[in-house]
């Protein structure tokens, strides 16, 4: 590790602390990061001086400091996800003639953050700030498909968890698991008339640095439009891959 710049080691240490459920001892940090103990202590002391970590003397452990929280809060204030995604959605809308959305999961709902709609397109209920049942939307299922199974079970423990809009779509945990498994294998989600009769959507997920689903990009068109879902899905997947790259993320393996 001696050839690795100190700044890189410090950032790795902060990321490691952020991924732990609680404070960590210096010796554990040194071992887990492959650092000499002396180097680990020097990094911790430098980070503590700037407020990024804090020492808990009674526990002999180190945790994140208030400066780390301030950096995270500033990131949220800058709306980076929306800023990075907006040009991609605008391009998709212009080139495909479809309505493009950026969505995230909010509990069992899809929350729409951005919408780009071509001129004279039919009005859709999906607008910025609108929430719809995630298990019915292509946007939501593209994200659910990449969540740990235990998390999906916690969100949808039984039939009462499922909302119905048009009589289509999964209505029980087993049905949802089958749909998510199939969509995960094909690399995109497809929704046909499950939210609004007469409209179809495809969506693909973008991922963060932990390979966790961060947001989805979807394309919606009238069902009678002469275009194959796989053609639109390819465009959505390419845009989602570019958003993953812009977020500094990585696509999950396996």
Residue 105 sits in a domain whose CATH number is: 3.30.450.40
Whether residue 66 lies inside any domain: the answer is yes
Whether residue 251 lies inside any domain: the answer is no
Write out the residue range of the structural domain in which residue 66 sits.
Answer: 6-74
Nearest Cα residue to 115 out of 43, 12, 190, 220? 220
- Of 25, 55, 74, the position where a domain reaches its end is 74
CA dist 85 → 5, 6, 116, 205 (Å): 32, 32, 11, 12
The predicted model scores a pTM of 0.70
Say whether both 30 and 89 belong to one domain.
Answer: no
Say whether both 143 and 31 belong to one domain.
Answer: no
Nearest Cα residue to 214 out of 136, 143, 108, 109? 143
Say whether both 19 and 145 belong to one domain.
Answer: no
Measure the CA–CA gap between 89 and 71, rounded to whole angstroms: 27
Buried-exposed string 143-168: b where 16+ CB fall within 10 A, e elsewhere: bbbbbeeeebeebbeeeebbeebeee
pLDDT score recorded for residue 251: 92
pLDDT tens digits, one per residue of 53-78: 999 988 899 999 888 877 776 665 65
Q: Nearest 5°: CA angle at 200, between 199 and 201?
A: 130
Say whether both 61 and 167 belong to one domain.
Answer: no
Whether residue 177 lies inside any domain: the answer is yes
Say whether both 55 and 160 belong to one domain.
Answer: no
Say whether both 61 and 84 belong to one domain.
Answer: no
- Of 74, 99, 116, the position where a domain reaches its end is 74
Whether residue 254 lies inside any domain: the answer is no
Name the band, by pLDDT with cuts 50, 70 and 90, for residue 1: very low
Q: What is the mean pLDDT of residues 78-84?
A: 80
- Of 43, 74, 105, the position where a domain reaches its end is 74
Domains of the chain: total: 2
Say whether both 70 and 84 belong to one domain.
Answer: no
């Amino acid at each position: 590790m001696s050839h690795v710049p100190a700044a890189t080691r410090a950032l790795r240490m902060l990321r490691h602390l952020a991924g732990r459920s609680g404070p960590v001892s210096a010796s554990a940090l040194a071992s887990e990061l492959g650092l000499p103990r002396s180097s680990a202590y020097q990094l911790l002391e430098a980070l503590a001086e700037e407020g990024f970590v804090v020492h808990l003397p009674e526990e002999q452990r180190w945790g994140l400091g208030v400066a780390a929280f301030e950096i995270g809060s500033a990131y949220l204030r800058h709306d980076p996800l929306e800023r990075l995604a907006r040009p991609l959605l605008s391009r998709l809308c212009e080139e495909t003639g479809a309505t493009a959305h950026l969505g995230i999961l909010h509990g069992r709902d899809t929350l729409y953050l951005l919408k780009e709609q071509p001129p004279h397109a039919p009005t859709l209920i999906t607008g910025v700030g609108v929430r719809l049942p995630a298990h019915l939307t292509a946007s939501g299922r593209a994200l659910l498909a990449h969540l740990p199974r235990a998390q999906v079970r916690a969100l949808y423990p039984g039939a009462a968890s499922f909302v119905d809009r048009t009589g289509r779509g999964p209505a029980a945990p087993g049905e949802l698991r089958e749909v998510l498994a199939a969509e995960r294998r094909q690399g995109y989600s497809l929704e046909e008339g499950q939210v609004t009769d007469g409209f179809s959507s495809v969506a693909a997920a973008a991922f963060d640095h932990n390979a966790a689903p961060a947001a989805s990009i979807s394309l919606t068109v009238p069902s009678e439009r002469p275009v194959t879902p796989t053609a639109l899905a390819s465009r959505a997947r390419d845009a989602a891959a570019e958003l993953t790259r812009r977020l500094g993320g990585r696509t999950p393996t396996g």
